[in-house]
């Protein structure tokens, strides 16, 4: 059953962009549309990724991010490497679910409606380095997959004890009905550049990165996952720490590094092809590809128009 390729593009505010991508969700292998179905009835969300969707994983392991993280919306450190909320927060809100607790966070977490395995700095491919050496998380996508496997099995064992455990852990049926979201891959590209690889060398590793991504998605499918929501990578050539490595002659009209964004688009073409392969190989699954690159670049290119 085939999902849909979602290409959200909006000249309105960021919240409108979120309403567009939510409207592209897939249920039971069919393209969801607001006209045909009033809500996406997912009982839970299980998220995998990096800082774009980390709601407390890295902070639980290595300490809270300092200001300005958390200042605008939560008014205190909230595990997010953002001054406000993340896309995954708005997705949960739009689906009528609470914000996701990080799997690694033992303080005040409630996993009834899912769990977040993302950690800031995560990559798809394991990095042979430490967080303090490189800034990249040791909790790569395959490790997040192992954590999900452990959570799936242990949560049901503990939930069977009844009492408060029933109120803090997902029902067995929630796993098959859940939305599995992915936002990861950007750090694989920047990590390669930080290892002083040339652009052709970075492009050459993309097939292996995508192969490892595909393997994790299929492993989750083998454990009962059926609804997959996959973000492509954003225009990382617009990030400040990347721009520091780009001569101004290679900036585009939006002030972004042209060669880095070109690699992001190459990655995204490969990811879109990988999603197509997953649809063929997993006919009972609904797999949605979401073009966040286009939306993020629009927001950056026309920042003043969007209120910046």
Whole-angstrom distance, CA of residue 104 vs CA of residue 109: 9
Whole-angstrom distance, CA of residue 302 vs CA of residue 47: 29
The pLDDT value recorded for residue 134 is 74
The pLDDT value recorded for residue 39 is 54
Whole-angstrom distance, CA of residue 76 vs CA of residue 84: 10
The pLDDT value recorded for residue 303 is 85
Task: Check: pTM over 0.95? Answer yes or no.
Answer: no
The pLDDT value recorded for residue 257 is 95
Tally of CB atoms within 10 A around 15: 11
Residue at 50 is within a domain: yes
Number of separate domains in the chain: 1
Residue at 306 is within a domain: no
Residue at 308 is within a domain: no
The pLDDT value recorded for residue 15 is 53
The pLDDT value recorded for residue 29 is 42
Q: Can you give the CATH number for the domain in which 116 is found?
A: 3.40.50
Residue at 67 is within a domain: yes
Task: Point out the residues of the chain with pLDDT beneath 50.
Answer: 1-2, 7-14, 16, 20, 23-38
Domain that holds residue 242: 5-301
Whole-angstrom distance, CA of residue 99 vs CA of residue 78: 11
The pLDDT value recorded for residue 131 is 78
């Amino acid at each position: 059953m085939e999902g849909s390729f979602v290409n959200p593009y909006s000249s309105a505010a960021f919240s409108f962009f979120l309403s567009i991508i939510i409207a592209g969700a897939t249920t039971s292998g069919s393209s969801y549309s607001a006209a045909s179905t009033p809500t996406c009835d997912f009982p839970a969300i299980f998220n995998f990724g990096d800082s774009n969707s980390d709601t407390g994983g890295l902070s639980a392991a290595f300490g809270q991010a300092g200001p300005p993280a958390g200042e605008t919306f939560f008014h205190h450190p909230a595990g997010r490497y953002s001054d406000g909320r993340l896309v995954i927060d708005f997705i949960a809100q739009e689906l009528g679910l609470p914000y996701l607790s990080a799997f690694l966070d033992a303080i005040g977490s409630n996993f009834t409606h899912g769990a977040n395995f993302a950690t800031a700095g995560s990559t798809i491919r394991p990095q042979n380095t430490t967080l303090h050496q490189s800034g990249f998380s040791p909790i790569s996508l395959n490790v997040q997959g192992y954590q999900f496997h452990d959570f799936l099995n242990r949560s049901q064992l503990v939930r069977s004890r009844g009492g408060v455990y029933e109120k803090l852990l997902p029902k067995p049926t929630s796993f098959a009905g859940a939305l599995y979201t992915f936002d990861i891959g950007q750090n694989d590209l920047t990590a390669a550049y930080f290892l002083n690889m040339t652009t052709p060398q970075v492009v050459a590793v993309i097939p292996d990165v995508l192969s490892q991504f595909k393997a994790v998605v299929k492993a989750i499918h083998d454990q009962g996952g059926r609804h997959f929501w996959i973000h492509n990578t954003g225009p990382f050539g617009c990030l400040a720490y990347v721009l520091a490595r780009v001569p101004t002659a290679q900036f585009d009209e939006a002030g972004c590094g042209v060669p880095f964004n070109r690699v992001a688009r190459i990655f995204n073409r490969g990811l879109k092809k990988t999603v197509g392969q997953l649809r063929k190989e997993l006919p009972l699954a609904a797999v949605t590809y979401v073009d966040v690159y286009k939306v993020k670049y629009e927001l950056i290119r026309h920042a003043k128009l969007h209120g910046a």
